[in-house]
Structure 1
Amino acid sequence: MIRNIVIAVLLIGLVGTAYWAYQDHQEKIAIMNQTENNYQRAFNDLNYQIDVLNDKIGTTLAMNTKDSLSPALAEVWRLTSEAHNNVGHLPLTLMPFHETEKFLTNIGDFAYKTSVRDLDKSPLSDEEYNTLKALYSDATEIRDELRSVQRKISDNDLRWMDVETALADTKGDSQRDNQVIDGLKTIDKNVKSIGQKSEYGPTFTSVEEKNIDYKNLSGKEITRKEAIELAKKYTGVSNAKTVSVTANKDGSKYEFYHVNLKSASTGNMIGIDLTKKGGHPIYIINDRQVSDAKIGLNDGYKKARQYLNNMGYQNMELFESTQYNNVGVYTFVTVKDQVRIYPEAIRIKVALDNGDIIGLGADDYLQNHDKERKINKPAITEKEAEKQISGKVMIMEKRLAVITNNLYEDVLCYEFMGTVGDDTYRIFINAENGHEEKVEIMHEARKVYDDVS
């Protein structure tokens, strides 16, 4: 009798274990499929954008008037920005792809600087025209090589998840056998030689990508063990069932640890990137399902604010808050001498079903935060800046703010928030020379909630 009961209990346990393993396996497959789809979409979009970019550069060679040339070059600049974005969504963190990114940056900067000047007074020089011809040839070469990689992926049924696995392989054996990696390395190698041959003209100054070396980080370098403890602290997962730690490989633009934690109580997987120096969190991602909202956006703000305080960030205020899919997203920026420093931004995601912190993005803050930042006195007055704004705009708020312009330069501006009809705008006027730096339309869902500040 007892023997039968023991056998029955063991069978039930075995069935339960098998079912749990099956469910866990199915969840992993679903996550892998979703990730693979995202990678494929980013690569296909990148191919499309390089295709269009190549055509657009080609059309500029036949243009001769400001009315057609300026918009075309502005479109080239926009396409390079989108291509940059899609490169960032590919699993290339562990593989140098810097030359391709730098090439896109240089094309975008050349196109932007040329498009914003008065081409009637200062038309394209022969040297700049030759630069466009060279860029067209270079973009054609990159387009063809990307198409080749795309064909290999399609013909051989290759997966981007295998690329990620190969890049993470510490021995490097699988990297040598991966056709996608070989193809991308070839592209980056060829782009390097292209960049060395291309001349952008005497007036062109290359503006590299935003500085992501986190040169102003405080603290000592942390160990893997310390990274795990900090990961548990920042994610709130003290009872992790499984933990894995990966350090960055050679070629990464900054040193970091990536820690994955699986909560023993909820089963949720949470990922966090931490800088090696100081152990500062860069990103936190918890993709758990969020149920119906039980707290409001204002309560979510209080959770985000408390979390920010607990992390030790000071002199920050809420800039904007958004709600989507029962999640509140809150963007905080540094305030110094009553001036908002928009480049120093931190974004926090709060689940509005229970107030959990499920996401953080401190990348911008870590790149741009500088305790020694000096804010110069404006060269023009607020009234002089306001004269640069259309009389149709009803101004509601004004303040001083530091923004990053399209050339990745931090500039002090007068920020005006106003309305035209039912639309709300933010307008930034350079406090040094009175030039209009940026105009943004504020959609209803993005407006700052005054009652939480």
Structure 2
Amino acid sequence: MYKWVIIGVLALALAGTAFWGYNERQEKNDIKIQAENNYQRSFHELTYRIDTLHDKIGATLAMNSRDSLSPQLAEIWRLSSEAHTDVGQLPLALLPFEKTEKFLTNIGDFTYKTAVRDLNKEPLSDEEMQRLEKLHDNAGQIKDELRNVQNTVLGDNLHWTDVELALSDDEPDHSDNTIISSFQTVEDTSGGFSDEKEFNSGALPASNEEHKFEGVTGKRINQKQAKTVAAKAFDLNTISGIEGGKSGKGSDVPLYSLSYQKDGESGYADISQKGGHVLTLMMQREREEPKLGLHDAQQKAQDFLEEQKLTEMEMVQSSQYDSVGIFFFVPVQNDVRIYADIVQVKVALDNGDILGYNARDYFMNHHERDIQKPKLSEEQATEKLNQNVKVQETHLALIENDTHEETLVYEIMGTRNDDDTYRIYVNADTGKEEEIEKQTTTEARFLQST
């Protein structure tokens, strides 16, 4: 009798184990299906947005009305930002994809800086129209490549979770994976026209040279620690839902590329593996009517910089687009502004949330400089200006000249005819005008009131 009792107990245990194993397998399968659905959605949205981006740029080239041009350029900026977020949702963190992301960034930077300009007073130049033509052609090539990938994925019923699995192994060659090899083609295509120098509209002096990431210091962190850093930057209470992985071997700096999506919000961040520094951050959500002014938003931006341990930073430019405040900060060394180390922060004007942050230039270039005293005095530098320019304020600054050499200049804010405000960079040793920028109305009013 005992024999049959033991057999019965063992049978029940075996049945229970089988049931538990089935539930465990079913749960893992459900998670895999959910991940696959998320990847498929992000990919098809990316393809759609690049398609729309191409059409919108084409429509811009055909426009004649300046009243319609600014909103159209702003729409292109929005689409490029959303496409960038879509890329962050795909399991490509271990695959070098920086050229495509840089191309999207270049589109966004160029169209944003053009959209916020007063196009009635300063219409698009012939050179800028040529840039738009080139952007249109380039976006068309990427669109075609993505459509090819899409047709292959749908036609062959390929799975993105297989991509994630393939990229997580130690094999350097993934040419047998159709999606990976197809996206490598997209990346190679983007590499032909992602040169930042071609699309820099000159709104601020910027670093275009290749540098080591001198500002990335500290101990290496693991992926869980990186998610904790990202959660704080995203203003989340938990790391649950944050996904991503390490950057590929082609990355210019080892990163954790992380993203999340929740309740209609999405976020994307690059965290350095060394030191756990936030290099870039992008948030997407619906925004309400502005409730904050630029002064309050600037304080939110400065508070965020301090959280990132970026101190001794000075705001040098601000602007407003719709319900977003955009601020540029540079570090100051011995009362000299260092423009190569520039940081951008975007603040939502409805509630003060941080929507964007780009500190790549800072961490790429930041180091202690040996800054020599200027040969010209401030008075001598201002004497070099056009006599119709009224000087409002002057600062010493370090910028990169046309040959990418750091040059000490006097940065002079001045007005002409009491209407137009200019930022003029005069070489502090020779008196040569290195660069002149016209400020938008919003920038001018804000800078004059600070």
Q: TM-score, normalised by structure 2?
A: 0.61
Aligned residue identity for 2:436: V
CA contact (8 A) 1:402 1:410 kept: yes
CA displacement, residues 13-54 of structure 1 (integer Å, 9 cap, x when unaligned): xxxxxxxxxxx999988765553244457789999xxxxxxx
Q: Does 1:402 align with 2:392?
A: no
CA contact (8 A) 1:294 1:354 kept: yes
Q: Which residue of 1 aligns with 2:16?
A: none
Aligned residue identity for 1:177: T
Residues 1:28 and 1:299: Cα distance change in structure 2 (over 3 Å): farther
CA displacement, residues 126-179 of structure 1 (integer Å, 9 cap, x when unaligned): xxxxxxxxxxxxxxxxxx999988766667865999999998650565765357
- 1:39-438 counterparts in 2 under 5 A? 39-40=50-51, 94-95=95-96, 158=151, 169-170=166-167, 173=174, 176-178=177-179, 180-181=182-183, 183=185, 209-263=208-262, 266=263, 268-370=265-367, 372-421=368-417, 422-438=419-435
Q: Which has the higher contact order (CA 8 A, sep 6+)?
A: 2
Q: How many residues align?
A: 329
Q: Percent identity?
A: 28
**d(CA) in 2 for partners of 1:447, 1:152:** 43
**d(CA) in 2 for partners of 1:164, 1:409:** 45
CA contact (8 A) 1:152 1:158 kept: no
Q: Which residue of 2 aligns with 1:120?
A: none
**d(CA) in 2 for partners of 1:365, 1:213:** 11
Q: Does 1:36 align with 2:47?
A: yes
1:245 shift after superposition: 2.5
1:293 shift after superposition: 1.6
Q: TM-score, normalised by structure 1?
A: 0.61
**d(CA) in 2 for partners of 1:340, 1:448:** 21
CA contact (8 A) 1:348 1:359 kept: yes
1:272 shift after superposition: 1.1
* Residue ranges of structure 2 left out of the alignment (5+ in a row): 1-34, 59-79, 103-136, 194-206
**d(CA) in 2 for partners of 1:43, 1:166:** 30
Aligned residue identity for 2:282: I
Residues 1:433 and 1:417: Cα distance change in structure 2 (over 3 Å): same
CA contact (8 A) 1:240 1:261 kept: no
1:189 shift after superposition: 11
Residues 1:43 and 1:445: Cα distance change in structure 2 (over 3 Å): same
> SS where residue 343 of structure 2 aligns?
strand
**d(CA) in 2 for partners of 1:418, 1:42:** 37
**d(CA) in 2 for partners of 1:163, 1:431:** 59
CA contact (8 A) 2:44 2:150 kept: no
* RMSD between superposed Cα atoms in Å: 4.4
> SS where residue 341 of structure 2 aligns?
strand
**d(CA) in 1 for partners of 2:192, 2:242:** 39
* Residue ranges of structure 1 left out of the alignment (5+ in a row): 1-23, 48-84, 102-143, 192-207
**d(CA) in 2 for partners of 1:428, 1:450:** 16
> SS where residue 384 of structure 1 aligns?
helix
Residues 1:41 and 1:159: Cα distance change in structure 2 (over 3 Å): farther
CA displacement, residues 330-379 of structure 1 (integer Å, 9 cap, x when unaligned): 22111121111122222222212222222211112111211x21211112
CA displacement, residues 247-292 of structure 1 (integer Å, 9 cap, x when unaligned): 00111111100112345xx452222111111111011111011111
Aligned residue identity for 1:95: P
1:328 shift after superposition: 1.5
Which segment is superposed worse, 299-308 or 165-174? 165-174
Q: Which residue of 1 aligns with 2:196?
A: none
CA displacement, residues 51-106 of structure 1 (integer Å, 9 cap, x when unaligned): xxxxxxxxxxxxxxxxxxxxxxxxxxxxxxxxxx99x97969833788xx9xxxxx
**d(CA) in 2 for partners of 1:394, 1:450:** 15
